[in-house]
Structure 1
């Protein structure tokens, strides 16, 4: 269930944000200058307005994803950092002592509330557009969606790496001199790196 009313954070510790999150902090500036109510308008139809238990506010969920995009962190890392980073908590409209969400909620939010893959990009794009308009972001950096790029944790084995280099070397040499086919050693068929070398 989503409430039409905005909730106000009541905490005896709320003034700590004025001490630890400086005025020039990018997240403070985005929070104070960007009206995120457009998120509610976009996602209103994805929630039940009068039934079920209260959901984590969609604006907060979106802000988690926006932080994830800005800082290039995993779901687990963004939630962990929001546990202790006061600028994150301030940006997320949380009291300093508020508990953070479970990271699995971000996956559910993306799957159930942002079923249309383009919706998240649309919302992030609109936020960035507003931030550029208000001159909060002045970067010329290009953000690339690396969903389908190869992870550094999924690299080739040393044997596969050498096979690829060997193949490229043979190909380059054969383009210049085909007679080298007889002079090169045969391709290795074992699984040993030394044999490939």
Structure 2
């Protein structure tokens, strides 16, 4: 269930962010200048609004994925680093003592909420567009990692794979 109420996190230790995370840090700039509320609007129909337990905020999970991409980390790596890196916690809008998510939640989020391949492209494009408009990003060039995208090509059938394997096996035996 997706809750539309915002949770206000208060902490005695929130002033640490002002001392530890520099004013010119890229994550501070992105957090202060880019409004990620469009993510909630885009993913609202992917959640049940009146049934089940409260879900983690899609904005938070998208920010984890953004950190993962920006710093070239694995799911476990981004969650572990957000446990101790104050700039990550600041960007994620967590209090310094707040617990981080479990890494498997990122996989579940990608598979269940972002399974439509166009939605992730839309979210990334909107984020980049907002960042460019706010002068957070200076480049007009975007490089997208297409490792997990499905290419448009003729996939080999199981029969063709077996033929190739048997030909290779025959050649090895000769």
Number of aligned residue pairs: 151
**1:60 corresponding residue in structure 2:** 60
Aligned alpha-carbon RMSD (Å): 1.8
Q: Following TM superposition, by how much is the alpha carbon of 1:148 offset from its aligned partner in structure 2, in angstroms?
A: 5.4
The normalised TM-score by structure 2 is 0.81
Match of 2:11 in 1: 11
- Normalising to structure 1: TM-score of the pair? 0.72
Matched residue, 1:34: 34
Residue 2 of structure 1: how far off its partner (Å): 1.2
**CA–CA distance in 1 between the matches of 2:46 and 2:38?**
14
Give 1:99's aligned residue: 99
Return the offset for 1:105: 0.5
Aligned partners of 2:107 and 2:92: how far apart in 1? 18
138 and 37 in structure 1: CA distance in 2 versus 1, 3 angstrom threshold:
same
Mapping of 1:66-145 within 5 angstroms?
66-139=66-139, 142-145=142-145
- Flag the 1:48–1:125 CA change in 2: closer, same or farther, 3 A: same
* Structure-1 separation of matches of 2:84 and 2:107: 22
2:154 matched to which residue of 1? none
Deviation (angstroms), 1:143? 2.2
Tell which has more relative contact order, 1 or 2 (C-alpha 8 A, sep 6+).
Answer: 2
Q: How far off its partner does 1:6 sit?
A: 1.4
Deviation at 1:40, TM superposition (A): 0.5
Q: Report how far residue 146 of structure 1 moved.
A: 4.2
Distance 2:148 2:46 in 1: 27
1: CA distance between counterparts of 2:8 and 2:79? 21
Runs (4 or more) in structure 1 with deviation over 3 Å come to: 139-142
Shift of 1:140: 5.9
Uncovered stretches (5+) of structure 2, i.e. residues with no partner: 150-171
